[in-house]
Chain A
Amino acid sequence: MNVDMDKLKDIIGRSPQESNFLIAVLQDIQREFHYLPPEALTETARALNVPLSKVYGVATFYNAFSLDPRGEKVVRVCAGTACHIKGASLILEQLENGLGIKAGETTEDMKYTLEVVNCVGVCAMAPVITVNDKYYGNVRSDRVMRLVKKD
Chain B
Amino acid sequence: MRIESIDQLNQWREKCRTEFEAQKRRILICLGTACRANGAIEVYEEFKKVLAEKNINDVSVEAVTKTGCHGYCALGPLVILEPEGTFYTKVKKINIPEIVEKTIENGEIIQRLLYKDANTKKRVADYNEIPFYARQQRIALRNAGNIDPNQIEHYIAVGGYQGMAKALTQMKPQEVIDEVSKSGLRGRGGGGFPTGRKWATCAKVESDIHYVICNGDEGDPGAFMDRTLMGSDPHSVLEGMIICAHAVGSIKGYIYVREEYPLAVINLKKAIEDAREFGLLGDNILGSDLCFDIQVNRGGGAFVCGESSALMKSVAGEIGEPRAKYIHSVVQGLYNKPTVLNNVESFATVPMIIEKGADWFTSFGTPKSPGTKVFSLAGKIMNSGLVEVPMGITLREIIFDIGGGIPNKRKFKAVQTGGPSGGCLPAEKLDLPCDFDSLTAAGSMMGSGGMVIMDDRTCMVEIARYFLGFLVMESCGKCVPCREGLYQLYQLCTKICEGKGTEEDLELMEKLSKTIEIGSLCGLGKSGPNPFVSTLLYFRDEYLAHIRDKKCPGGVCRNLITFTINDDCTGCLACIKACPTEAITGEKKKKHILDQELCTQCGSCYAVCKFDAIDIT
**What residues of chain A have their CB less than 8 Å away from a CB belonging to chain B?**
19-24, 27, 54, 57-58, 61-65, 79-82, 84-87, 90, 93-94, 97, 117-126, 133-137, 140-142
Flag if A94 contacts B384 (CB, 8 Å). Answer: no
Flag if A122 contacts B466 (CB, 8 Å). Answer: no
What 7 pairs between A and B have smallest CB-CB spacing?
Answer: A62-B300, A124-B73, A123-B378, A63-B301, A124-B384, A80-B221, A119-B221
Residues of chain B with a CB closer than 8 A to A118's CB: 219, 221, 260, 301, 303, 470, 474
Picked from B299, B302, B602, the residue with its CB within 8 Å of the CB of A90 is: B602
Picked from B37, B379, B467, B580, the residue with its CB within 8 Å of the CB of A122 is: B37
Residues of chain B with a CB closer than 8 A to A97's CB: 580
A65–B319 alpha-carbon span in the complex (Å): 13
B:317-334 near A, CB below 8 Å: 317-320
Picked from A21, A58, A64, A80, the residue with its CB within 8 Å of the CB of B222 is: A80
Please judge, given known A-B contacts A23-B314, A61-B302, A90-B602, whether A81 and B378 are in contact too, CB under 8 Å.
yes
Flag if B301 contacts A122 (CB, 8 Å). Answer: no
**Is B426 part of the contact surface with A, judged by Cβ < 8 Å?**
no
Flag if A58 contacts B384 (CB, 8 Å). Answer: no
Residues of chain B with a CB closer than 8 A to A54's CB: 318
Flag if B260 contacts A117 (CB, 8 Å). Answer: yes
Flag if A62 contacts B466 (CB, 8 Å). Answer: no
Flag if A125 contacts B73 (CB, 8 Å). Answer: yes
Flag if B36 contacts A135 (CB, 8 Å). Answer: yes
Which residue of B is nearest A134, CB measured? B37
Flag if B221 contacts A90 (CB, 8 Å). Answer: no
Mask of B219-238 contacts with A, CB within 8 angstroms, 1/0: 11111100100000000000
Residues of chain A with a CB closer than 8 A to B221's CB: 79-82, 84, 118-119
- Chain B residues within 8 Å of chain A by Cβ, number: 62
Residue from A81, A121, A125 having most chain B Cβ neighbours under 10 A = A121
Flag if B298 contacts A27 (CB, 8 Å). Answer: yes
**Is B104 part of the contact surface with A, judged by Cβ < 8 Å?**
no
Residues of chain A with a CB closer than 8 A to B303's CB: 118
Residues of chain A with a CB closer than 8 A to B33's CB: 120-122, 135
Which residue of B is nearest A97, CB measured? B580
Interface 9-mer from B7-15, B123-131, B239-247, B603-611: B603-611
Please judge, given known A-B contacts A86-B379, A90-B607, A142-B577, whether A121 and B227 are in contact too, CB under 8 Å.
yes
Flag if B385 contacts A93 (CB, 8 Å). Answer: no
A81–B417 alpha-carbon span in the complex (Å): 11
Known contacts A84-B221, A122-B224; can you find 10 more A-B pairs with CB under 8 A? A54-B318, A81-B416, A97-B580, A118-B301, A121-B33, A123-B452, A124-B74, A126-B384, A135-B33, A135-B37
Picked from A62, A93, A134, the residue with its CB within 8 Å of the CB of B602 is: A93
Picked from B38, B224, B298, B380, the residue with its CB within 8 Å of the CB of A121 is: B224
A77–B604 alpha-carbon span in the complex (Å): 17
Residues of chain A with a CB closer than 8 A to B298's CB: 23-24, 27, 64
A66–B76 alpha-carbon span in the complex (Å): 34
Residues of chain A with a CB closer than 8 A to B218's CB: 121
**Is B463 part of the contact surface with A, judged by Cβ < 8 Å?**
yes
Residues of chain A with a CB closer than 8 A to B60's CB: none
Flag if A90 contacts B37 (CB, 8 Å). Answer: no
Residues of chain A with a CB closer than 8 A to B315's CB: 20
Flag if A82 contacts B300 (CB, 8 Å). Answer: no
